[in-house]
Structure 1
Amino acid sequence: MTENKTALITGGGRGIGRGICLKLASLGYSVAVNYCQDHKSAENTVTEIKSMSGTAISVRADVSNSVEVSKMVEHINTVFGRIDVLVNNAGINIDKPFLEMTEDDWDRVVDTNLKGAFLVSREVSVLIKAKKLHGNIINIGSTTAITGRKNGVNYCSSKAGLLVMTRCLAKELAPDIRVNSVIPGFTRTEETRERFKLDTREEYEISKRDIPLKRLGDPKDIASLVAFIISEEGAYINGQKFIVDGGENMI
């Protein structure tokens, strides 16, 4: 039963984060939609959840800032009285060739993608344990954390660190909190549609990437797996990584 349970999704206003928010709301979770800058998208997600007769709030915090993270978790606890599920989805890209990448480029990406997940996980875990709940943390990863790629050493390194952090937390926080990683492949979101010009080049991208299922991912594909892992049916899953990419990377 998900009655009275609460989920916090960082970067929940758009793309995969939004898809997860909508899915968990449909299952009865109260949803906290975190954002840093895009207040409009977060509010749009909240409005859509409420139109489904769900319960949701938007909450601003820079996940790389420990003070803001602490205030965010405190606010959610005040409103809903608990947090049962955390989805660490917030992330940024600043792509450049390695020899042109600045220290600031490195710090901004690693601080958001890796440090941010650490800070939010810590605050939420303290709350879950204090309330004697059985919780879940889902870290949203990237296939390039495993394969690597050009022009993204900061991003790939941050996501590789997130994979290891998943295993560490899964060992430390059990049995009260299960921790797993969901790794999307090339997923059709607002960001990828604009970045890769998918409205005119989608078939090219599919063929170039050699995706056996012959389509790009949808946020619903990711959200459905998240929902399964945190459910009672997934209650024996801990410390694992799940790649959802249509078979592009069989690793």
Structure 2
Amino acid sequence: MSEKRLDGKVAIVTGSSRGIGKAIAERFAAEGAKVTVNWVGKEREAEAVVDSIKNGGGEALSVHADVSSSAEVKELVRATVDRFGRVDILVNNAGVMFTKSVLETTEDEWDRTIDINLKGAYLCAKEVAPIMLRQQAGKIIMMSSNSGLYHPSAMRFTEYVVSKAGMNGLTKALALALGPHITVNAICPGWIKTDMIADTDPAVEQRILDETALHRWGTTDDVAGAAVFLASREADFITGELLIVAGGRGMH
């Protein structure tokens, strides 16, 4: 039997009760990691992910925490260490998006997007960093977006684009600050079939497919595969980088 790529590792995946986070949590577990499933929405969805992991022979823990709250982030990390003894991998996946133009977006929507997508990533990274530094090993993975890079069709969702561009900058700043033992990288997915884009206009969907070299939607498994790679030893000499998983849409 071949060795699992994340055997014995402990991972926290924020926003992992559904969508991309769920796929990452389940793939990490399949590769041997013990996983903390973080959620803020529906507890039954998080518990379903935990059950799926346990049914596959893995170990998982469900923890409710709003990543925009430093107190709740501290509890998320504390619960993980209390249960599993360490933290080897953090995936900052929790995120929100309001599909409105800059003139339609409210101040509350702006604040919520920045607080969850950018501040939350900062707080989680800051909380796990001392643990990883003591271990002299750790992997931090930001779930950014292709829209955080320049792509005209995505630029209209102003607060989301700003939050993801900020996350890209945070990735590079943390990679420099936390080396040499901790790597920090970001995944920039293109349009992935999740609930977040379920209401996309069919005409927009077709335009996106036409702009995508592989002429298909991305899947959560496509993103999860990239996350496993960045979390594994195979990516030990990669840090401060943005891995675009977009099927060739908006090549950079």
Partner amino acid, structure 1, of 2:187 = V
Q: Quickly say closer, same or farther: Cα 1:51–1:69, change in 2 above 3 A.
A: same
Structure-2 separation of matches of 1:75 and 1:134: 20
Shift of 1:146: 1.2
Tell me which residue corresponds to 1:111.
115
Shift of 1:95: 2.7
Partner amino acid, structure 2, of 1:125 = A
Shift of 1:102: 2.0
Tell me which residue corresponds to 2:57.
53
Shift of 1:207: 5.9
Tell me which residue corresponds to 1:98.
102
Structure 2, gaps ≥5 residues long: none
Tell me which residue corresponds to 2:141.
138
4+ residue segments displaced more than 4 Å: 201-204, 206-209
Shift of 1:229: 1.6
The answer to whether the 8 A contact 2:142-2:187 is kept is yes
- Counterparts of residues 178-217 of structure 1 (less than 5 Å): 178-192=183-197, 194-196=198-200, 201=202, 205=206, 208-217=209-218
Structure 1, gaps ≥5 residues long: none
Secondary structure of the corresponding residue to residue 185 of structure 2: strand
Structure-2 separation of matches of 1:239 and 1:74: 27
Shift of 1:196: 2.4
1:78 to 79, 82, 89: 82
Structure-2 separation of matches of 1:90 and 1:74: 18
Partner amino acid, structure 1, of 2:139 = N
Tell me which residue corresponds to 2:7.
3
Q: Quickly say closer, same or farther: Cα 1:38–1:151, change in 2 above 3 A.
A: farther
Secondary structure of the corresponding residue to residue 230 of structure 2: helix
1:147 equivalent to 2:150? Answer: yes
Shift of 1:202: 9.5
Tell me which residue corresponds to 1:127.
131
Shift of 1:206: 6.3
1:221 equivalent to 2:222? Answer: yes
The answer to whether the 8 A contact 1:49-1:55 is kept is yes
Tell me which residue corresponds to 2:248.
247
Partner amino acid, structure 2, of 1:120 = C
Q: Quickly say closer, same or farther: Cα 1:30–1:209, change in 2 above 3 A.
A: same
The answer to whether the 8 A contact 1:97-1:150 is kept is no
- Between the two proteins, the alignment pairs up a number of residues equal to 246
1:175 equivalent to 2:180? Answer: yes
Shift of 1:208: 4.8
Percent identity for Structure 1 against Structure 2: 38
Secondary structure of the corresponding residue to residue 7 of structure 1: strand
1:19 to 11, 18, 23: 23
77-86 vs 225-234, greater mean Cα deviation: 225-234
Tell me which residue corresponds to 1:65.
69
The answer to whether the 8 A contact 1:143-1:185 is kept is yes
Secondary structure of the corresponding residue to residue 31 of structure 1: strand
TM, length-normalised to structure 1: 0.92
Shift of 1:190: 3.1
Tell me which residue corresponds to 1:31.
35
